[in-house]
Amino acid sequence: MTTKSAPHHPLDPLTIQEISKVRAILSSYEPFASSFPAIQFHSLSPDKNQVLAWKKGDPFPPRKAFVIALLNGKSHRVTVDVDSSQVTEHNIHTGSGYPTLSIDDMSTALRVTLSDAEFNQSVTNRSCLI
């Protein structure tokens, strides 16, 4: 990593090199390895718990990435230690709720909706009532 791309503060976003490294680590980590590239990443950021614990003057903490990914209809919350190239935590969310829709999800939903003749006719009929 060059000095320009290296983070200077724990709140700095992950660099392109760090994001690429996290992707490489997860591409060989089960259960993701057998599903790459089909896995959908919904969030990839510095580990918030680690950032919140850091105080000015403390040594710079190891870089960790917090990932929320959707695989086979389940939300996976994964922490990756970028420096050691290890997954340090992996939980499958079992409660209600899903990760935020990706731009691909939204585009597909819009395309499917707008290609439906019955939906388009109902919008036309409603606009005539105004």
pLDDT score, position 25: 93
- Asked whether residue 14 carries a pLDDT value surpassing 80, the answer given is yes
pTM: 0.67
Q: What is the pLDDT of residues 50-81, one digit of tens each?
A: 778 888 888 888 888 999 888 887 889 999 99
Domain residue limits, the chain: 1-95, 100-130
Q: What is the pLDDT of residues 85-126, one digit of tens each?
A: 999 999 998 776 666 667 777 888 888 888 888 888 888 887
- Asked whether residue 5 carries a pLDDT value surpassing 80, the answer given is no
Q: What is d(CA 79, CA 14) in angstroms, rounded to the nearest whole number? A: 13
* Residue range 1-95, CATH number: 3.10.450.40
pLDDT score, position 52: 82
CA dihedral 100→103→109→111, nearest 10 degrees, is 170
Q: Average of pLDDT values for 42-49?
A: 81
Q: What is d(CA 15, CA 21) in angstroms, rounded to the nearest whole number? A: 10
